[in-house]
Structure 1
Amino acid sequence: MTKGESGSVVPQEAHRDAAPLQGKVAIVTGAASGLGRASATALARAGARVVVADLDAQGGREVADMVDGHFRACDVSDLDANRALVEFTQERYGGVDIALLNAGVATGCGVGEDFDPARYRRAMGANLDGVVFGTHAVLPAMRARGGGSIVATASLAGLAAVPLDPLYAANKHAVVGLARSLGPALAPQNVRFNAVCPGFAESRIIDHLRDMLAEQGLPVIPAEAVADTVLRIVTGDGTGECWFVQAGREPEPFRFRNVPGPAEPAGL
């Protein structure tokens, strides 16, 4: 891929056939910045035609122009908006093969005196409902294409306890649970469902944490490193996996311990 005169990411003709996602159509939510922007770029470079979805119209259009794709404003916490996004993609490109359900927000409150029901609903709406609604909306389109790949952006907060932000941990744990459960459930339909679980990665979500991260010497993961992992997941063959992305480590599926089974009755 090279950048055209307009700055868009376009394939070199000599390498079209080598692009692993040539002919595929991708939706990326939360694509106006951060992880979504980097992932939309990576998917386009791999040959996919990309629909950029976000509430940030200016940023979203900039990314859509960059990847030679289309922009669609979408509030992922609204089921009908997700359905409209899929319909828009089908009208523009004829179908959907890949969905990166990436849109997310910081929680901004806890469960004590700082609890704010509106902020709680906003976070759950974007971080969890957006994945559930997006999956529901895109499944018929993927079935019509004979299958597809769904990747949800979770977090290391979905793999570990986060005492400083339990509500964020709750919705990200839910996304991890969806990935582990929907992976095998959707496999008979030839639809793969996986999650990517980055640590502190370059995005707007960590804006309120930047000073703390700098003080503690914690590295911020480049958005491109997460995008590369998304591309590995999409071009792979796994399902029900939750790939961690951590600074200084090679990304790979997280290995969960098995839950203990029931004990046999005494004397048997």
Structure 2
Amino acid sequence: MSSPQVALVTGAASGLGRAVATALAARGAQVMCADVDEAGGQAVAEELGGTFVRCDVRSLEENRAAVAATEATYGGLDLLYANAGVSSGIGLGEEFDEERYRHVMGVNLDGVVFGIHAALPAFERRGGGAIVATASLAGLTAVPLDPLYAANKHAVVGLVRSLAAMKEQRGVRINAVCPGFSESKIIAPFREALVAQGLPIIPAEQVADTVLALFDGDMSGECWFVQAGRESQPFGFRNIPGPRA
């Protein structure tokens, strides 16, 4: 009988992170719940029979510590859901704030980069693994209302697609999930406006289903959209124009 999979989930205290942690635990995985929200993250971990570790994903050292805690607690690491994220709420006009900009880029981009970097040695010790990063439909299209969010989510998409070769080199698969407006803290400030416009809010559990499908499959370097009323599938990127003589 094979041992249960071990998963590290960032942003596990609420929203998509909580939904994925719950889905993983429901099928028998051992889950390390990481978040800056200590009370929320601890509550989720206790509910699921998992373990909580405080992790500010903007810090490389805290990402390394979260991976180390996972290995120390469960003996290894098989799955990483690099999920923690925030919206910016600012553009590049007079409202621009450098501190907010650094915070948003730190969570949404550095958090994915640092998380993957910290997890790779653990995957190598395990003989392979799988990563899913939370991007967004904002990583696949223009978002005039939050260009900085679009910028870091486009970066996550580019990172995931570029790291796909790890499957052959290190036995590690990496994919991205790109949801539309989903139940999470990110949409809380404008959720009512979305509903008033008739835009459906995607249940976090629907996103979790796609994340688990990405963990279970054999794909790598794919970016799967999640949209209300549609079946999730990989986004079809067009190839860039080739050179001409």
Tell me the equivalent position of 2:49. Answer: 68
Tell me the equivalent position of 1:161. Answer: 142
Contiguous gaps of at least 5 residues in structure 2? none
Deviations 1:9-36 (A, max 9, x none): xxxxxxxx7xxx9521000000000000
Tell me the equivalent position of 2:23. Answer: 42
Structure 1 residue 202 corresponds to structure 2 residue 183: yes
CA distance in 1: counterparts of 2:134 and 2:3, whole angstroms: 23
State the percentage of identical aligned residues.
64
Structure 1 residue 192 corresponds to structure 2 residue 173: yes
The SS at the match of 2:17 is helix
Structure 1 residue ranges, 4+ long, deviating more than 6 angstroms after superposition: none
* Equivalent pair of 1:22/1:46 in contact (CA under 8 Å): no
Contiguous gaps of at least 5 residues in structure 1? 1-16
Residue 251 (structure 1) aligned to one of 206, 222, 232? 232
Structure 1 residue 171 corresponds to structure 2 residue 175: no
Tell me the equivalent position of 1:97. Answer: 78
Deviations 1:212-255 (A, max 9, x none): 20221000000000001100000111000001000000001111
Give the CA deviation at 1:186: 4.5
Tell me the equivalent position of 1:212. Answer: 193
Give runs of aligned pairs for residues 7-86 of structure 1, distance below 5 A.
23-86=4-67
What TM-score do you get using the length of structure 2 for normalisation?
Answer: 0.98
RMSD of aligned Cα (Å): 1.1
What TM-score do you get using the length of structure 1 for normalisation?
Answer: 0.89
CA distance in 1: counterparts of 2:216 and 2:166, whole angstroms: 20
After alignment, is 210-219 or 98-107 more displaced? 210-219
Q: What letter is aligned with 2:238? A: R
CA distance in 2: counterparts of 1:62 and 1:184, whole angstroms: 37
CA distance in 2: counterparts of 1:152 and 1:63, whole angstroms: 20
